[in-house]
Structure 1
Amino acid sequence: MRIVHFGHACVLLETGSARLLLDPGTLASGFETVRGLDAILFTHQHHDHLDLDRLPALVAGNPDAAVVADPGSAEQINARGLSCRTARPGDTLSLGGVPVEVVGGDHAVIHPDLPNIPNVGYLVGHGAFLHPGDSFVLPHRPVDVLALPTGAPWLKASEAVDYLRAVRPRVAVPIHEAVLASPQLHHTLFQNLAPEGTEVRVLRRGELTEV
């Protein structure tokens, strides 16, 4: 498997048979020129995961790509005149010949006074890769590579460490870092507190990496 981290929550996943782009949002860059996609997936409707202004050009450049999103994002995408498949927890999709299980359902709580929104995670290839979106959803099967949320208004570092220990992937790739002034501090914490057998690998932005 090969991964490109375009910043924050946006990653390109190459499984060998499928090219999947997840969460191209406003805090990511470089994904605009990606071509040959089988699917473009969104976990939830927050702008740092869903850039509605750049999405039409991305779809036009990838006319064969399925657009898949949680119910809240799907409504906004369809309102822009784009075709979007709604992903609901419990669904199993086939994208580029690769099974993708839809997990989770709700965004992590930012504050009890704020309304919550849908959030889905995507478990790709029978546990080969998990992108949880803005949640700490626990998968029902072992995970090889975890996209690990690093910093957010809904997250504190100790919770991310506990999530890393609960999932126990072979490799954890930190994402969702753009809101931090110094994400390296969190990366070091993850590396020091990761469970035995887990490698925390910080990807160079925009660089294709074999994991």
Structure 2
Amino acid sequence: MRLTTFGHAAVLVETGSERILVDPWLTRRLDRFWERLPAVPDGLLDVLDGGVDHIVFSHHHFDHHHFPSLRMLSEDPEVDFDEPPARAAETHCVWPRHPGRPRPSVSGLGHQAIGWTLRRLGFTRTSGVQPGDTVQLGDTLLRTSVSRVPFPEMTLLLEGPDATVMLCGDAMLHPDTEAWFSGPDAPGVDVALIPAHSIAPPGVLTERRPLGGIEDVQARARANFDRWTATVDARLTIPSSFGWRVRAEDGAFSWCNDALFPFTPWQALERLGETGRAGALWGPGQTLEVAGGEAELSGTDHDFAALYEAVTLDPDVKIPAFSPEHDRVGAQREPTAELVGRLMDHLVGTELWYRAVDNGDGHVLTVTEDTGTPRHFALDFAGGRVLPFTGDTGGSGDMGDTDDGAGSTRIAGSTLQALFDAELLFGSSYGLWTSDDTVLSAVFHDPRWYVRHVNAELARDGR
């Protein structure tokens, strides 16, 4: 079995008869704020020439189900100009399906519908499975297990003729998975890609507040990693699903890299050494040949110590106060009052709206126009109205306090415009506002906004 990494969680598994691509994010940037770490070398995607037999998704977040990368995979560059792209129709896709009513999650652009996206991109051979199911992929058996999260997510165990590998994506270890590995039918795993979870509480970005209890956060990350490695007990463990850093196109937000990541792969590798387990790191372009219980790593090595030092949590980092004059994108076209009115129209009927009406909550929204003028609005959830607000909104460097205890959000009018224009993915917009509530999430995590992004991407190609 041969494994080639594209970085983060994207891996090509070649069994000799099948080519299986897992969690494809293949571009050098995820979006305008997140870029690859390590970088993807030139020519790496050539290994995908000729297509793949199967694409398997661990879950629906944008860095694992990246529709621009899927659009690249859906087309065959060798067809004649008057022939339809046929690659998507020939590729079998496996994705996790919710056993009940689908529930969009609220992180990582979590409102993507995998089945719809695949069909929209021309992938017609799809298998929506419930975590815990098994799927035969040629000569390889795919066993899935559930993650301890409220949305469909699965770990992937690939049992081939000459090797068994486990790819865990971002999954949180579930008690059912622990029970499976402690039972009599526990598989022997040659190589395991175990997540070194990289995400700190979102308040660092959305509320511009330092991460509290840093030592406790780091200890939990180590403990989660230890439980995973002890449960799977692989011959070789590779800390995985950590392959990016914040690098905005305009150079802003570099401070995020010192404030977000409590446990890097380098720290995870050191932890493997402390616990006496065999471990390794790999980066884009490197391969593993796995057979007979042995794994051989090849390809150009990376300076992982230096790479991950740039994204190591620094408790002394100074998080800048939010500035809507600086933290903005694009240009505002519509009058501010109309933008805020549209926001309220979309809020009515959401779960946040129901909760606010029941609790008698209010919210103050401050929108800074392109001229630098801030305008304040009170969102009357019960009445579905937007009213001028003249109370105390606090200083520009914090969330401020309203005179009635309402929540508050600050945003640049241009950023709000970009969200409505489907130019800015919600998950990519962190850092462009500050808020102590989920007013923006309630609207822009709605699946309709993701649908608009996919359709806009296809429209650029005339599809």
- The TM-score normalised by the length of structure 2 is 0.39
Change (3 A) 1:98 1:66: same
Separation in structure 2 between the aligned mates of residue 176 and residue 76 of structure 1, nearest angstrom: 22
In structure 2, list runs of 5 or more residues that go unmatched. Answer: 77-86, 98-112, 181-185, 201-219, 246-256, 258-263, 290-294, 296-463
Q: What letter matches 1:57 in structure 2?
A: M
| Superposition map of 1:147-158 within 5 A | 147-153=193-199, 156-158=221-223
Name the SS for the 1:53 alignment partner: helix
Shift of 1:179: 5.0
SS at structure 2 position matched to 1:122: strand
Hey, what does 2:91 align to over in structure 1? 65
Query: What's the secondary structure of 1:164's corresponding residue?
Result: helix
What is the CA-CA distance between 1:81 and the residue it aligns to?
A: 4.3
> For 2:159, which of 125, 135, 138 is the aligned residue?
125
Contact 2:141 2:158 in 1 (8 A): yes
Partner SS for 2:3? strand
C-alpha separation between the residues in 2 aligned to 1:89 and 1:45?
Answer: 13
Q: Counterpart amino acid of 1:78?
A: R
* Structure 2 residue 315 is the aligned partner of structure 1 residue 201: no
| Structure showing greater relative contact order (alpha-carbon pairs closer than 8 Å, 6 or more residues apart) | 1
Query: What residue is the counterpart of 2:141 in the other structure?
Result: 99
Offset at residue 94 of structure 1 (A): 1.6
Deviation at 1:89, TM superposition (A): 2.3
Deviations 1:37-70 (A, max 9, x none): 2211101110111101220221324453211111
Which residue matches 2:69?
A: 54
Residue among 233, 244, 254 paired with 1:168: 233
Distance 1:75-1:103 versus aligned 2 partners, 3 A rule: farther
The answer to whether the Cα contact below 8 Å between 2:265 and 2:281 also exists between their aligned partners in 1 is no
- Partner SS state of residue 78, structure 1: helix
Q: CA deviation at 1:191?
A: 2.7
Per-residue displacement from partner, 1:74-101 (whole Å, max 9, x unpaired)? 2443344432321222322121321111
CA distance in 2, matches of 1:144, 1:76: 33
Query: Do the aligned partners of 1:18 and 1:96 also contact (CA within 8 Å) in 2?
Result: yes
The CA deviation at 1:186 is 2.4
Tell me the equivalent position of 1:185.
267
2:17 alignment partner, SS class: coil
**Partner Cα separation in structure 1 for residue 3 and residue 11 of structure 2:** 7
**1:87 aligned to which of 114, 129, 137:** 129
1:19-45 deviation digits (Å, cap 9, x = unpaired): 211001346657754134221110111
User: Structure 1: how far apart are the matches of 2:71 and 2:11?
Assistant: 18
| Larger proportion of helix | 2
Q: Deviations over 1:162-182 (max 9, x none)?
A: 210121011112211125765
Query: Does residue 1:134 correspond to 2:191, yes or no?
Result: no
SS at match of 1:69: strand
Q: Which amino acid aligns with 2:243?
A: A
Cα distance between partner residues in 1 of 2:165 and 2:8? 17
Q: Check conservation: 1:151, 1:179, Cα contact below 8 A.
A: no
- Please, which moves more after superposition, 70-79 or 41-50? 70-79
CA positional deviation for 1:203: 1.8
Q: Is the 8 A contact 1:151 1:157 kept in 2?
A: no
% identity of equivalent residues: 25
Aligned to 1:77: 118
Q: Could you tell me which amino acid in structure 2 is paired with residue 87 of structure 1?
A: V
Q: What residue is the counterpart of 1:12 in the other structure?
A: 12
Distance 1:153 1:200, change over 3 A: same
- Given that 2:194 and 2:229 are in contact with CA atoms closer than 8 Å, whether structure 1 keeps it comes out as yes
Decide which structure has the larger Cα Rg and report it.
2
What's the secondary structure of 1:58's corresponding residue? helix
Post-superposition Cα deviations, 1:116-175, rounded to whole Å, max 9, x if no partner, equal: 321012211178111122222426322222111012338712211221012101111221
The total of aligned residue pairs comes to 200
* Residue aligned with 2:153, SS: strand
Q: Aligned AA for 1:177?
A: F
Q: Which runs of 5+ in 1 are unaligned?
A: 110-115
